[in-house]
Chains A and B, each alone.
Chain A
Amino acid sequence: MKTSKTRRYRLASSALVALTLATTAAACGGGDDDGTTADGVTTITVATFNEFGYEGLIDEWNAANDDIKIEQVKVGTWDDAKANLYTKLAAGSGLSDIEAIEGDAMPAILAEEGAFEDLTDDEVDGRWLPWVEEKTLNADGQMIGYATDIGPEGICYRSDLFEKAGLPTDREEVAGLMGTWDDYFALGEEFIKKVPDTAWYDSSGGLAQAMLNQVENPFETDDNTVEVENDELEAVWADVTGNIEKGLSTKLPQWSDDWTASFQNDGFATMACPGWMLGVVEGNAEGVKGWDIANVFPGGGGNWGGSFLTVPAQGENIEEAKEVAAWLTAPEQQVKAFAAKGTFPSQVEALESGEVTSATNAFFNDAPTGEILAERAQAVTVQPYKGPKYSDILQAFQAAVLRVDDGSQDAAQSWDQFLTDVEALG
């Protein structure tokens, strides 16, 4: 008994020490969020996720400016950034001066009244493509975010596997073969007959996303009423799940280890390719020859992704933060970010700049990616309406697709569960 008593005491005392350390550390951490130091230099923190391509730009700004310095706070994924964002919004403090928001989450952010600054400014008028700018306006017409990149989609494909299946390999010819989704799926069926061990596209989730991006009201009506039982969404569902049965899909969750590995194992022949995906493909398919990109997207254009810079109202240096956000998203800077990380610009002027339009990509068989993506951006005519619940419902929808994909449920069961899930969102 004596030993257990001392053990308890030790446990208690070590817990106490740990606690003391934790509170001291927290106290220290809270000290410097004012952002202004004694010598009058204001530090503006910019929180980003994934790759924004801002490293070079920040060095450039810091070299040219003495009174305002930029400091980047990087996290790996939007999921992490989102968790941080919401907890600190709830706490009312602790956010960076500028917070980057992922595109699909933007509608929920727009609904948070008063939490973010109005960034409307004559100087940035007409800077963005109109459909991009529309996504940054809240119900009162205030501009809550400055758009960074966009994700115009083309089709990436493996020309070597196309050759094996007896299909054309030239990117112009390939583009001519997949003008509609029906063409695309028919071509896929032809392909898997010839090359049975390879799927037609990378994941049902990716396909679903691509198709959803062409539906005007996939989940919500324009007045934010949740309405998932609509013909268009049901048509997407029928297409996606039907193709799983036909064997067109890899049946792998997008971004999983198996999905990543399938790039090296001839797992699939085509995929929807937003601009930012090119870097992902190149990374995953290192050493694989034959990747190319066709200037086409079935069923018209499509945009997948794109982010926004916002200025949280809780910050201390709002004016400086606005200035920095405007600068980072200006056309000249976007061109440089595109060169650094391939984030495709959303600014009219940047899209016309020679550096962007003349860009080619050696990995994709020297395809003129700048020109192709610029044309794909112009082809975007429909943008899905995204209400505050969009990303929650999208998550449930993706899970539903996956349940059919991995065989845990059939399409009807999974759809029913999706409806229940949506209802539970409240």
Chain B
Amino acid sequence: MSNSTTSRGGGTQTVSSPREGSPSASGPTGRAPRPEWRQRLTRLDVRLSPYLYISPFFLLFLVVGMFPLGYTAWVSVHDWSLIGGKGEFVGLDNFREVLGNPYFTKQLVNTISIFLLSSVPQIVIAVVLAALLDNQLRGRTLWRMSILLPFVVSPVAVAIIFGSLYGDRYGLINELLGYVGIDPIGWHTERWASHVAIATMVNWRWTGYNALICLAAMQAVPRELYEAAAIDGAGRVRQFVSITLPMIRPTMIFVVITSTIGGLQIFAEPRLFDETNARNGGSDRQFGTITMLIYDFGWQLRDLGRASATAWLLFVVICAFGIANFLLIRRIGALGGDR
């Protein structure tokens, strides 16, 4: 091991020495090829090796990430049936058709609504939970692990349990509401109520997961900062706002971006929540999402062209939201006053 470091040091040494040693800048070509060759190799090694080391991921990403993306774009400009395969080139017709479809607008609004109803409370609660768990509790690990428990439960099971809780007629929640004199809510038929129901499912599952990630970031915040703040007379809340939040900002960005991507791609929960035959998100698509529309186009109507066009539109929407959220979260630091 030490050998490699010395040779590396020696290498950089030799890089400079012949240059200095050579009488003129124009230099005689081919007079001393051996050291030149070795130098070049070393330089290449230093410059290129890191890229070589990380290349497997990017090569794989090209194959399994970029290729489908490009291929989807290719499909989206063709008439493409699930079984028949490629048909005619139709240009942007599929996009036009999708954008003109009233369900697209409706399901985009549903998606954003469910996303906001789930991600916003989810992240706020996750950060607060993490802050509470960042204390010196007795049986710390137990508490910390138990908040991850909902995440372990499969979404199918979650949907079944919540589906019966939110039953329109015989569900537990409506029954409880009845005791306090509130009329039964149509969880499967009223548009916004259905969004709330689905958002609780998502929140129940993902809050603990995000809380643990935030907690990990909080653990990395140097304790001296809190001690210093305490000496300066800062209370718990002030410490949280001025130290914790700015210090975990990179993690917050990660959490927000991943939940943006996940939230806008929501599929399993609303589909399993749906009890109609078509499973398109309620009789009038009250809670149908964009991914459900993609599924409907691709696998129920067997029109991959429209499905791909919708997928690309969703990709654009996610990018837009991702960037917006990134800019938003970067400002968290400003709250604390540093940077």
Tell me, yes or no, whether A binds B.
Answer: yes
Chain A contact residues, CB within 8 Å of chain B: 1, 3-4, 7, 12-13, 15-16, 19, 79, 83, 86-87, 89-90, 112, 115, 205, 252-259, 261-262, 265, 392, 395-396, 398-399, 402-403, 405-409, 417, 420, 424-426
Q: Give the residues in chain A near B276, CB-CB below 8 Å.
A: 253, 256, 398-399, 402
CB distance from B264 to the nearest CB of A (A): 20
A257/B283 in contact, CB under 8 A: no
What separation, in Å, do the CA atoms of A278 and B57 have in the docked complex?
A: 56
Name the one of A112, A256, A398, A426 contacting B303, with C-beta atoms under 8 angstroms.
A426
Name the one of B85, B186, B280 contacting A406, with C-beta atoms under 8 angstroms.
B186
* Binary flags per residue of B217-245, CB closer than 8 Å to A gives 1, else 0: 10010000000000000000000000000
B278/A403 in contact, CB under 8 A: no
In the complex, B188 has a CB within 8 A of chain A: yes
Q: Give the residues in chain A near B210, CB-CB below 8 Å.
A: none
B169/A252 in contact, CB under 8 A: yes
Q: Give the residues in chain B near A392, CB-CB below 8 Å.
A: 300-301
CB distance from B326 to the nearest CB of A (A): 13
What separation, in Å, do the CA atoms of A364 and B282 have in the docked complex?
A: 34
CB distance from B94 to the nearest CB of A (A): 12
A15/B57 in contact, CB under 8 A: yes
Q: Give the residues in chain B near A19, CB-CB below 8 Å.
A: 60, 64
Specify the chain B residue showing the minimal Cβ separation from A402: B283
What are 8 A-B pairs at a CB distance below 8 A? A16-B56, A19-B60, A86-B83, A90-B85, A252-B169, A259-B275, A398-B278, A408-B283
User: Is the contact region of chain A dominated by helix, strand, or loop, or is it mixed?
Assistant: helix
CB distance from B297 to the nearest CB of A (A): 10
What separation, in Å, do the CA atoms of A424 and B277 have in the docked complex?
A: 18
User: Is the contact region of chain B dominated by helix, strand, or loop, or is it mixed?
Assistant: loop
Q: Give the residues in chain A near B163, CB-CB below 8 Å.
A: 257
Q: Give the residues in chain B near A424, CB-CB below 8 Å.
A: 101
Given pairs A16-B57, A252-B168, A399-B278, 4 additional interface contacts (CB within 8 A): A257-B163, A399-B284, A402-B276, A409-B284
B303/A83 in contact, CB under 8 A: no
B189/A408 in contact, CB under 8 A: yes
What separation, in Å, do the CA atoms of A426 and B82 have in the docked complex?
A: 14
Specify the chain B residue showing the minimal Cβ separation from A8: B254
Q: Which of A254, A405, A408, A417 has the most CB of B within 10 A?
A: A408
CB distance from B276 to the nearest CB of A (A): 5
Q: Give the residues in chain A near B167, CB-CB below 8 Å.
A: 257-258, 261
CB distance from B246 to the nearest CB of A (A): 14
